[in-house]
Amino acid sequence: MATSNISATMKTSPSSTTRSHCNSLSRFITFTSNNNIHHSNHLFFTKTSNSSLRSKRSLSLYVNNVISDQKLTEPIPQQEVNDDPSSFSPNSISIASNIKYHAEFTPSFSPEKFEVSKAYFATAESVRDALIANWNATYDYYDKLNMKQAYYLSMEFLQGRALLNAIGNLELSGPYAEALSKLGHDLENVAKQEPDAALGNGGLGRLASCFLDSLATLNYPAWGYGLRYKYGLFKQNITKDGQEEVAENWLEMANPWEIVRNDVSYPVKFFGKVVAGSDGKKHWIGGEDIKAVAYDVPIPGYKTKTTINLRLWSTKAPSQDFDLSAFNSGNHAKAYEAQTNAEKICYILYPGDDSVEGKILRLKQQYTLCSASLQDIIARFEKRCGGSLNWEEFPEKVAVQLNDTHPTLCIPELMRILIDVKGMSWKQAWEITQRTVAYTNHTVLPEALEKWSYDIMQKLLPRHVEIIESIDEQLLHTIILESGVEDLELLQKKLKEMRILDNFDLPDSVLELLFPPEENSIMDSNEEVNIYDEDEDSNEEADSDEEKESEGENNWNKTMALFKPAPKAEKIVRMANLCVVGGHAVNGVAEIHSEIVKEEVFNEFFKLWPHKFQNKTNGVTPRRWILFCNPDLSSIISKWTGTEDWVLDTEKLAELRKFVDNKDLQTEWRAAKRNNKMKIVSFIKERTGYTVSPDAMFDVQVKRIHEYKRQLLNIMGIVYRYKKMKEMSAEERKDKFVPRVCIFGGKAFSTYVQAKRIVKFITDVGATVNHDPEIGDLLKVVFVPDYNVSVAELLIPASELSQHISTAGMEASGTSNMKFSMNGCVLIGTLDGANVEIREEVGEDNFFLFGAQAHEIAELRKERAEGKFVPDPRFEEVKTYIRSGVFGSSNYDELMGSLEGNEGYGRADYFLVGEDFPSYIECQEKVDEAYRDQKRWTRMSILNTAGSYKFSSDRTIREYAKDIWNINPVDLQ
């Protein structure tokens, strides 16, 4: 490598204010246009909302021999040094210099060229400079004030690309675009080089990322905690056989946004055994030990210096666990076994759990997240407290939010640390834990209310099982004391529903509550009975005692039988119940969902602790989901509302209602939608090979593939549409049907066979319909492979109709429905999840509603089981048509069979596709009618955006902060 001659001079302002900010400022480097570099290190805070700058200092550094042969398109002059911090502003010249510096001195690529992939890394590292500086400043300030912080634990963070979001939040999009232009590159092309971070799958992870954006933007002190998955869930390819899964490669070229913290690591233990020490404390010893190492990803707020942190854990084994002797003897696999076992914990998001090994790996993932995060949280708490450590203050300084049940082990883990490590009593530790932890429920689906095998958990986490058993026993005492023992059958039902441990015998202490010792002397009486006494009275008395004893014994046996677990039933740990018991707050994520949580899912808990339950309707960030992904629409909104404040105060979107019938607004609105549709036309051609018309309605359903989300209902409606088209003349079908491009996207979990059948069927229908010359552009069916955030950022702004058609009462909330509505897309859907609230806000006339309602579902399933369901002839017609072979040689008997019969696993149409099919296709006819009137449709579109003001994650986070976490925003200004 070429040598460099370096000399440096430092200039600093004498101002003490300037000096105090020096360590929180980022570097901007100025290069001359020849092969000598003048490195001017302007350190600055990013702009606040009033565009003020806080401080800077300047460093001059001369370096010879710049190797890259990429020439700037114009010379970049040296920046003048100015000691007035308020006069300095990052511009394209200094940014270009900084990018060039990283291309040379933070190299991820060979030096010969400055191609677009290298430009991406250098640009990201340039932006990261500013984020690190603000990150340091943010947490220096939080530590100084020692304020309460919220910690958001989630197995998923579906971030999407970071570059455009970061420079947008820093208000540097223009300067970075100009800087890259000077370097011979286009910002949009550079941004496309970034792979989506493979840290999530669906709405759960995207919600978590929206929350982090809002927390930073609103200046709330908070961190996110997750796992750093090497391969993510999987990358989805679509082949002739349907979905094919391959490993994600998002880390193959490294991740420029993360900062490894080699000095921040914590031990995590598995297996082993629990022993009692001479001091009476429990000690968890032996087993398998790994290390969790921190990787930090800075999360910038919009128009604020606040930059919060997403800390991701990666796992490895201590170096001493490498078996050098085995390696040298040729047994390489054995030598590396410990490292392999440690590393595989963070290989895959949601590894398949059909095997015992898969279940153990999933449980290891969950415990790693909980243990490492809590150890880190506690270490930070102790550091902030210094010499005045008071554990009673822990809940006053720390709020831990569990995003669904995956981080449930936080509850027994916090108890373990407080009792076994910090030496607290059970009572003190339990009070601290309950006041610290809160739980967000995301589902009412039975299979998603997480349960774990007791045997697996006991083997992997023996100390935690002891703690969970004690929590369960304490819960049983609480329930019995509250409910009484008069009605044992009612009590048994309550215990069955509420226990954390399912299919377990009652503990002895609980049996004593049911049968107090003084009353339970059936089998152990100390009274002597003289059985030889011939006295009649004595004999009668003895007979009476025997009868009572016999009656008592019978009652005892009946009671024991009542509370006896089912024979041969597997012992289960119910994580959702543990969350409700171990936390101080439980929230649903939409109004209808929260009611179902209270009235059905956790009804007995709600009756016991009504104060714990509340609603927090989900929200999405308007920065990523309007401002950055839909700039054309954003400009229109700002123009007609007269302000850009809607980006931070979405209630201003409602101002659009005043102009909904304005012809100029409608014309601009349609033009923006058309422009976005043209991007999708090119995208679909590139990704699938299909050519679609921008003049057709873009009808979109993109989300995780699951039976309850009913992609099957959608595609069967399309099949019905196609069949009717084929039965008509060209003129008839043109008059009857609006042209549509039906777009699907989403991943089916790799072991979810039925979901994968649905993907295969959709692609088969598309292959037939899209090559039918009679139909032409009147109908196209497209499955977009590997749907992710970046694809969503293209599809959502271009969509005109979006389908949110889950079986009522089964979707907790949804967030994609909010994103579509924000972008002026009209929804068709059931009264489920956030659809209910969206429909209320946008207006009933601007939402296409169909289907059974949540309160009707149980009765409809009951009628089906009794054989009373009579399918609509059109539904039967579609099934017959599918089985006719028109869509290829694949056998769809299993798929169609799931919709038939009245009972049985995988049959009887549990998700009511056949029940809702008639109202669905009739509603789709109303969609066609509305779309023909483009003035009416545009009006509906505008009112959807105007009515989406309620669904900003900023609003949701304010509610969490106030009602659950009790934290306050802190502005670094």
| 942 within a domain of the structure (yes/no) | yes
| 442 within a domain of the structure (yes/no) | yes
Please answer whether residues 784 and 744 qualify as being in contact, where contact means their C-beta atoms are separated by less than 8 angstroms: yes
pLDDT tier, 277 (very low <50, low <70, confident <90, very high otherwise): confident
Q: Residue 428: pLDDT above 60?
A: yes
Least confident of 506-510, 550-554, 782-786: 550-554
Kindly report the CATH number assigned to the domain that includes residue 803: 3.40.50.2000
For residues 333 and 327, what is the distance between their CA atoms, to the nearest angstrom? 8
Catalytic status, residue 804: no
Strand 273-276 and strand 282-285: pairing?
Answer: antiparallel
Task: Give per-residue pLDDT as tens, 88-99.
Answer: 358 899 999 999
pLDDT, position 540:
59
Reported pTM = 0.89
Identify the CA nearest to 456 among candidates 422, 411, 409, 512: 409
Plot region of 75 (φ>0 → left; ψ -120 to 50 → alpha; else → beta)? beta
For residues 27 and 39, what is the distance between their CA atoms, to the nearest angstrom? 10
Task: Give per-residue pLDDT as tens, 634-646.
Answer: 999 999 999 999 9
Q: Residue 233: pLDDT above 60?
A: yes
pLDDT, position 513:
87
For residues 326 and 342, what is the distance between their CA atoms, to the nearest angstrom? 18
pLDDT, position 79:
41
pLDDT, position 319:
87
| 633 within a domain of the structure (yes/no) | no
Q: Residue 669: pLDDT above 80?
A: yes
Catalytic status, residue 291: no
Task: Give per-residue pLDDT as tens, 594-638.
Answer: 999 999 999 999 999 999 999 999 999 999 999 999 999 999 999
Mean pLDDT computed over 949-969: 97
Q: Residue 28: pLDDT above 50?
A: no
For residues 720 and 732, what is the distance between their CA atoms, to the nearest angstrom? 16
Tokens encoding 928: 């066609």
Distances (CA, A) of 28 to 133, 180, 564, 883: 12, 15, 71, 65
Please answer whether residues 323 and 337 qualify as being in contact, where contact means their C-beta atoms are separated by less than 8 angstroms: yes
pLDDT tier, 695 (very low <50, low <70, confident <90, very high otherwise): very high
| 65 within a domain of the structure (yes/no) | no
Strand 779-784 and strand 740-745: pairing?
Answer: parallel
Strand 307-316 and strand 222-227: pairing?
Answer: parallel
Selecting among 709, 721, 747, 756, the annotated active-site residue is: 709
Catalytic status, residue 709: yes
Selecting among 148, 359, 616, 704, the annotated active-site residue is: 704
The edge-to-edge listing of strands for the beta sheet with 259-270 is: 259-270, 288-300, 307-316, 222-227, 149-153, 398-403, 437-440, 586-588, 613-615
Average pLDDT along the chain: 88
pLDDT, position 538:
54
Residue-range definition of the domain harbouring residue 381: 92-446
- For residue 314, give the DSSP letter: E
Of 446, 476, 496, which residue is a domain's last? 446
For residues 128 and 141, what is the distance between their CA atoms, to the nearest angstrom? 20
pLDDT, position 900:
96
Beta bridge partners of 826: 801
pLDDT, position 387:
81
| 706 within a domain of the structure (yes/no) | yes
Task: Give per-residue pLDDT as tens, 724-773.
Answer: 999 999 999 999 999 999 999 999 999 999 999 999 999 999 999 999 99
User: Taking CA 531 as the corner, what is the angle to CA 530 and CA 533, rounded to the nearest 5 degrees?
Assistant: 70
| 535 within a domain of the structure (yes/no) | no
pLDDT tier, 192 (very low <50, low <70, confident <90, very high otherwise): very high
pLDDT tier, 342 (very low <50, low <70, confident <90, very high otherwise): very high
Of 380, 413, 446, which residue is a domain's last? 446
Task: Give per-residue pLDDT as tens, 897-940.
Answer: 999 999 988 899 999 999 999 999 999 999 999 999 999 999 99
pLDDT tier, 531 (very low <50, low <70, confident <90, very high otherwise): very low
pLDDT, position 855:
94
Please answer whether residues 606 and 940 qualify as being in contact, where contact means their C-beta atoms are separated by less than 8 angstroms: no
Q: Residue 35: pLDDT above 80?
A: no
pLDDT, position 973:
65
- For residue 461, give the DSSP letter: -
Catalytic status, residue 611: no
Plot region of 439 (φ>0 → left; ψ -120 to 50 → alpha; else → beta)? beta
Selecting among 397, 416, 673, 819, the annotated active-site residue is: 819
For residues 315 and 346, what is the distance between their CA atoms, to the nearest angstrom? 6
Catalytic status, residue 397: no
For residues 171 and 127, what is the distance between their CA atoms, to the nearest angstrom? 11
Q: How many CB atoms within 10 Å of residue 620?
A: 29
Of 410, 430, 446, which residue is a domain's last? 446
| 471 within a domain of the structure (yes/no) | no
Mean pLDDT computed over 796-824: 97
Q: Residue 377: pLDDT above 60?
A: yes
Mean pLDDT computed over 20-37: 35
Please answer whether residues 468 and 363 qualify as being in contact, where contact means their C-beta atoms are separated by less than 8 angstroms: no
| 536 within a domain of the structure (yes/no) | no
pLDDT tier, 555 (very low <50, low <70, confident <90, very high otherwise): low
Task: Give per-residue pLDDT as tens, 559-597.
Answer: 778 888 888 899 999 999 999 999 999 999 999 999 999
pLDDT, position 536:
53
Least confident of 66-80, 447-461, 674-688: 66-80
Catalytic status, residue 704: yes
Domain count, the chain: 2
Please answer whether residues 814 and 834 qualify as being in contact, where contact means their C-beta atoms are separated by less than 8 angstroms: yes
Q: How many CB atoms within 10 Å of residue 872?
A: 15
pLDDT, position 544:
65
Please answer whether residues 124 and 340 qualify as being in contact, where contact means their C-beta atoms are separated by less than 8 angstroms: no
Selecting among 703, 757, 780, 950, the annotated active-site residue is: 703
Selecting among 442, 574, 616, 673, the annotated active-site residue is: 442
Selecting among 138, 304, 307, 815, the annotated active-site residue is: 815
Q: Residue 63: pLDDT above 50?
A: no
